[in-house]
Chains A and B, each alone.
Chain A
Amino acid sequence: MLRSPGLILAAVIMASVALVAGLVQLQKPDTTAHDNPRAAMATPAAHTSHETFYTGKSLTTGPEVTAACIECHAQAAQDFMHTAHWTWAGDHAERDGQSVAIGKKNLLNNFCISVESNWAACTTCHAGYGWRDENFDFAEATNIDCLVCHDQSGQYRKQGGTGGMPAADVDLLEAAKSVARPSRVNCGTCHFSGGGGDAVKHGDLDGTMVHPTADIDVHMGRYDLQCVDCHRTTKHEIAGRSMSVSISNTRRATCVDCHAQTPHPDQRLNAHTTAIACQTCHIPEMAVRAPTKMTWDWSKAGEDRPEADPHEYLKIKGEFTYESNAAPEYYWYDGHAERYLKGDEIEPKLVTQINRPLGDATDPAAKIWPFKVHRGKQVYDTNTNKFLVPKTAGEGGYWTDFDWDQALRLGSEKSGLDYSGEYGFAATEMFWPLSHMVAPANQALQCADCHGAAGRMDFEALGYKGDPMQRGARRQQGVLRQGNEGAR
Chain B
Amino acid sequence: MSKREFYTIHERIWHWLQALTIIALMVTGFEIHSPHVFKVMGFETAVRVHNAFAVLLLINAALGFFYFFTAGLLKIFGPRSADFMHLAILQARYYLFGIFRGDPHPMQRTPENKLNPLQQMVYLSILNILLPVQIVTGILIWGAQRWPAAIEQFGGLGLLIPIHLLTAWFFLADTIAHVYMTTTGPTIFADIKQMITGREAEGGH
Instruction: Using CB atoms, name the residue of chain A closest to B59.
Output: A19
Instruction: Using CB atoms, name the residue of chain A closest to B198.
Output: A5
Question: Number of A residues contacting the other chain (C-beta, 8 Å)?
Answer: 13
The CA-CA distance from A93 to B46 in the complex, in Å, is: 67
Which residues of the other chain, A, contact B49 by a CB distance below 8 angstroms? 20, 24
- Contact status A28-B48, CB under 8 Å: yes
Which residues of the other chain, A, contact B45 by a CB distance below 8 angstroms? 24
23 A-B interface contacts by CB (under 8 A): A8-B9, A8-B10, A8-B13, A16-B17, A16-B56, A19-B52, A19-B56, A19-B59, A20-B49, A20-B53, A20-B56, A21-B52, A22-B52, A23-B48, A23-B51, A23-B52, A23-B56, A24-B49, A27-B47, A27-B48, A27-B51, A27-B52, A28-B48
Fill in one digit per residue for A1-14: 1 if any B CB lies within 8 Å of its CB, else 0. Answer: 00001001100100
Instruction: Using CB atoms, name the residue of chain B closest to A29.
Output: B44
Fill in one digit per residue for B78-91: 1 if any A CB lies within 8 Å of its CB, else 0. Answer: 00000000000000
Interface size bracket, B side: 10 to 19
Instruction: Using CB atoms, name the residue of chain B closest to A21.
Output: B52
Option from A8, A9, A24 in Cβ contact (under 8 Å) with B52: A24
B55 interface residue, CB < 8 Å from A? yes
Chain A contact residues: helix, strand, loop or mixed: helix
Output the residue of A8, A9, A23 with the most chain B CB within 10 A: A23
Fill in one digit per residue for B25-59: 1 if any A CB lies within 8 Å of its CB, else 0. Answer: 00000000000000000000101110111011001
The CA-CA distance from A437 to B108 in the complex, in Å, is: 86
Option from B13, B17, B48 in Cβ contact (under 8 Å) with A24: B48
Instruction: Using CB atoms, name the residue of chain A closest to B52.
Output: A23
Output the residue of B45, B48, B59 with the most chain A CB within 10 A: B48
Which residues of the other chain, B, contact A21 by a CB distance below 8 angstroms? 52
- Contact status A23-B55, CB under 8 Å: yes
Which residues of the other chain, B, contact A28 by a CB distance below 8 angstroms? 48
The CA-CA distance from A20 to B48 in the complex, in Å, is: 10
Chain B nearest CB: distance from A255 CB in Å? 34
- Contact status B48-A9, CB under 8 Å: no
Which residues of the other chain, B, contact A12 by a CB distance below 8 angstroms? 13, 17
Which residues of the other chain, A, contact B55 by a CB distance below 8 angstroms? 19, 23
Which residues of the other chain, B, contact A20 by a CB distance below 8 angstroms? 49, 52-53, 56
The CA-CA distance from A22 to B9 in the complex, in Å, is: 26
Chain B 104-163 residues near chain A, CB threshold 8 A:
none
Which residues of the other chain, B, contact A22 by a CB distance below 8 angstroms? 52
The CA-CA distance from A263 to B65 in the complex, in Å, is: 52
The CA-CA distance from A12 to B45 in the complex, in Å, is: 24
Chain B nearest CB: distance from A16 CB in Å? 6
Chain B nearest CB: distance from A403 CB in Å? 79
- Contact status A9-B59, CB under 8 Å: no
Which residues of the other chain, B, contact A8 by a CB distance below 8 angstroms? 9-10, 13
Chain B nearest CB: distance from A6 CB in Å? 9
Closest 10 CB pairs of A and B: A23-B52, A5-B9, A27-B48, A20-B52, A24-B52, A24-B48, A12-B13, A8-B9, A23-B55, A19-B56
The CA-CA distance from A28 to B53 in the complex, in Å, is: 15
Which residues of the other chain, A, contact B10 by a CB distance below 8 angstroms? 8
Instruction: Using CB atoms, name the residue of chain A closest to B10.
Output: A8
Fill in one digit per residue for B54-96: 1 if any A CB lies within 8 Å of its CB, else 0. Answer: 0110010000000000000000000000000000000000000
Which residues of the other chain, A, contact B9 by a CB distance below 8 angstroms? 5, 8-9
Chain B nearest CB: distance from A20 CB in Å? 5
Which residues of the other chain, A, contact B56 by a CB distance below 8 angstroms? 16, 19-20, 23
Fill in one digit per residue for B1-20: 1 if any A CB lies within 8 Å of its CB, else 0. Answer: 00000000110010001000
The CA-CA distance from A417 to B79 in the complex, in Å, is: 118
Instruction: Using CB atoms, name the residue of chain B closest to A22.
Output: B52
The CA-CA distance from A138 to B14 in the complex, in Å, is: 84
Which residues of the other chain, A, contact B48 by a CB distance below 8 angstroms? 23-24, 27-28
Instruction: Using CB atoms, name the residue of chain B closest to A27.
Output: B48
- Contact status A9-B13, CB under 8 Å: yes
Which residues of the other chain, A, contact B53 by a CB distance below 8 angstroms? 20
The CA-CA distance from A16 to B45 in the complex, in Å, is: 18
Which residues of the other chain, A, contact B17 by a CB distance below 8 angstroms? 12, 16
The CA-CA distance from A24 to B52 in the complex, in Å, is: 6
Which residues of the other chain, B, contact A19 by a CB distance below 8 angstroms? 52, 55-56, 59
Which residues of the other chain, A, contact B198 by a CB distance below 8 angstroms? 5
The CA-CA distance from A9 to B53 in the complex, in Å, is: 18
The CA-CA distance from A23 to B142 in the complex, in Å, is: 14
Which residues of the other chain, B, contact A9 by a CB distance below 8 angstroms? 9, 13
Chain A nearest CB: distance from B170 CB in Å? 24
The CA-CA distance from A27 to B13 in the complex, in Å, is: 27
A5-B198, A19-B55 given; name 4 further pairs at CB < 8 Å. A9-B13, A19-B59, A21-B52, A27-B52
Chain A nearest CB: distance from B4 CB in Å? 15
